[in-house]
A and B are shown apart, each in its own frame.
Chain A
Amino acid sequence: MKTIYKKPESISDKPFHYCPGCGHGVVHRLIGEVIDELGEEKNTIAVVPVGCAVMGYDYLKCDVLEAAHGRAPAVATGVKRCLPDRLVFSYQGDGDLAAIGTAETIHAAARGENITVIFINNTIYGMTGGQMAPTTLCGQVTQTSPCGRDPYTQGFPLRMCEILSQVDGVSYIERCAIDTVQHINAAKKAIKKAFIYQREHGAYSFIELLCACPTNWGMTPAQAIERVGREMSEYFPLGVYIDKIGSCGR
């Protein structure tokens, strides 16, 4: 019998704790597939965030460091500067990367650290139960924006790909979405390209992935995934923002 679908080698057998419809499981799988395809499982070091993905260390079979909230790019910097021939990536949510860790995010990019940052944007704090995130859309209802986010008192959502596009140290930035098969395939390609750029060009890459959080959005998985393609993609346009190595920037 021919195997046509199996779990990536670099992902453990432990069942994911993520909710149905959540983007994390899909993205973990994509990363696992890419690590397998590049043959980097024994050479990869992951830095996981504070947030739902903190338990990434149970799912990834490579060596893993759990970082303090927002500090993953600094931790990844420490690792990579000591071990320049390892493949090092950080995996961070929106609160982690774009609120408490904004400084770490921007300065790791400014230094052009030879790491890959995987950014899960689901417009909400998931693990703490659904509070307003730096990427929460205007009008979006959360526990801490019960009347909908009012940008004039609560700030506007941050578009991190656009912000980082102005930073000279960056080599590659792409925003993808985890909603349709086509988009998920594109996301995998982006992750693979970023890892190859790191390995072969010493490049800093930033891959933003728009994901659903059905539980904290108060939606069914189907509704939530539809929101990713509609509302979220409208405010956070998909595409390649910078690609200095492939030189097909937007």
Chain B
Amino acid sequence: MEYRIIISGFGGQGVLFAGKVVAQAAMLSGYEASWLPSYGPEMRGGTANCQLVISDKPVGSPVVRTADVLIAMNMPSLTKFMDKTNGIIVTDERFAKFCDSPAQVISLNTDICNGGAKFEGLTNMIMLGAMIAKTGILGISEVIAAINRIAKGAAAAIDRAAVEYGWGCVGERVCAS
């Protein structure tokens, strides 16, 4: 078993954090895992991505050339990585309609993550929840445990709630292309 994941979006959207949660959850599930961030001169507002490899044996190259899963949190990320994704793409329904890919597209309504809504700024956690629900590579309880290890207090609580919300979205809102 080897799973290759790319999570991508604007800096500040929690791209790297979402990846750390996945890597941590994979480790807690007994898998080998690597997390490789893009790094560059951009800070907030620039583009960011991280590449994850989850495997039942030591990870070879941590670089993801072809992804089994892509979480694309903005349009440039979708454009950049959709051709490198073979399995599943998780993205916002506003972008999904532009998605021209043989991959299965999970398109989410993320209104609940926008200005003043319940999960404002937590697109990362919602998409992460949807991704694990769809792929089944990690259990929700491991992801919750991972969040508890790397986030604290109120932030951890809202992250957990958002992951669970995203997890619940799949099935109801799935929109396979």
Do A and B contact each other directly (Cβ–Cβ < 8 Å)? no
